[in-house]
Amino acid sequence: MSSSAPTIVVTGLSHTYSRRETKLEVLQDINLSIGHGEYVSLVGASGSGKSTLLSILGGLERPQTGVVRVAGVDLASLSGDGLARYRQNVVGFVFQHFGLLEALTALENVELALTLAGMGTSARKRRSAELLESVGLSARLDHRPFELSGGERQRVAIARAIANEPQLILADEPTGNLDVESAESVASLLESLRDRDGCTLVVVTHNPAMAALADRHLLLRGGRLVVDGSARLPVSGQVPETAPWAGAADGLE
């Protein structure tokens, strides 16, 4: 499911982390375009730059070189508050560690995203309850994160991610801390959201089953985008280095 109008356009993106005298080039000359409503898996070994690319796309970090446009907005041109508004309204994040605030209940965690967006108390409470109901957690509204299972926590996080109806959902190994059953449930939930809301979904994953659901696969190796393909992946085995198309990357490097 893809559209001709791209949601994400990345041109010549490079990114370097400096620590004292050491410089680590984590992304090198990335060029890509992701269409509206696409489901993209972002794969690669640890340290290949997946999380950095996700952070830049999500406005958590500013692009150092190159241009990153999301929903027509050049992220480098945004101020601090502008980036906060962008993260609030355009992007929804789902983290491997769930990212729920331990002091808040499931309902309050979802509500927080709406609070930050300036929604009134009664409206946001109502919407938060609806969102949690839509992810099958209507009985868990007042539970705090430590009272929920891993799968339930991730569903709360997903409900929070979609609270402000984002155009782009960025998921960083959303099934990484889940058992097989919960992982499948979360993977299918994300896919159904994409199908239902038509948002773009970029997922960093090592889970072959989850990667297999994507329309398109991006493989990063050493900070470079070495494969941008749409070959169907097997639903088991390792991702990405043993993927059928991974070998092609050797030839690209």
Partner 1 sequence: MGWSDAIAMAGRELLRRPGRALLTMIAVALAASLLTALVAVATTARTRVLDQITHGGPLASISVAAAAPNPSQAGLDNPTPGKAKVLTSTALAEMRAAKHVVAVVPVLQDSVEIEPIKPVQITPTVKVAYPPYGANIVGVNLGQVSSLPVSLLVGKYPSPGSLTEVDVTQSYLAHLGLAQNQGEKVIGTDIELGSYEILSHRFSIGLRFDDVEIVGVVDQQAGSGQIVAYPSLVLGLFDWTAAGLVNGDRDAPQSPYAAALVEADQLADVNAVRNEIATIGYSSSAPGNVIVSVEKYLHVIEIILTAIGAVALGIAALGIANALLAAVRERRREIGVMKAIGARDRDVMRTFLVEAGCLGLAGGILGTALGVAIFLGIGDLANSYLTSQGLRGVPITLAWDVPVGAVVGAAVVSVLAGAVPAHRAAKMPAREAVEA
Query: Would you count residue 38 as binding partner 1 (CB under 8 A)?
Result: no
The answer to whether the Cα torsion of 72, 76, 77, 79 is positive or negative is positive
In angstroms, what is the minimal distance from the CB of 121 to partner 1? 9
Query: Would you count residue 60 as binding partner 1 (CB under 8 A)?
Result: yes
Query: Would you count residue 103 as binding partner 1 (CB under 8 A)?
Result: yes
Q: Using CB under 8 A, which of the segments 104-112, 184-192, 226-234, 238-246 binds partner 1?
A: 104-112
Q: Using CB under 8 A, which of the segments 31-39, 56-64, 212-220, 233-241 binds partner 1?
A: 56-64
List the one residue from 54, 183, 209, 239 that touches partner 1 (CB under 8 A).
54
Query: Would you count residue 81 as binding partner 1 (CB under 8 A)?
Result: yes
In angstroms, what is the minimal distance from the CB of 206 to partner 1? 13
Query: Would you count residue 126 as binding partner 1 (CB under 8 A)?
Result: no
Choose among 47, 1, 44, 49: nearest CA to 10.
49
List the one residue from 31, 97, 231, 232 that touches partner 1 (CB under 8 A).
97
List the one residue from 25, 61, 184, 197 that touches partner 1 (CB under 8 A).
61
Task: Find residue 74's DSSP bridge partners.
Answer: 69
193, two tokens: 């959201």
Query: Would you count residue 84 as binding partner 1 (CB under 8 A)?
Result: yes
Choose among 116, 41, 112, 111: nearest CA to 86.
116
Q: Which is nearer to partner 1, 17 or 238 (CB)?
A: 17
Rg of the Cα atoms in the chain: 18
**152-181 binders of partner 1 (CB under 8 A):** 160-161, 164, 172
Query: Would you count residue 231 as binding partner 1 (CB under 8 A)?
Result: no
In angstroms, what is the minimal distance from the CB of 117 to partner 1? 6
In angstroms, what is the minimal distance from the CB of 160 to partner 1? 7
Binding site for partner 1 (CB under 8 A): 51, 54-55, 58-61, 80-81, 83-85, 87-89, 93, 95, 97, 99-104, 108, 112-113, 115-117, 160-161, 164, 172
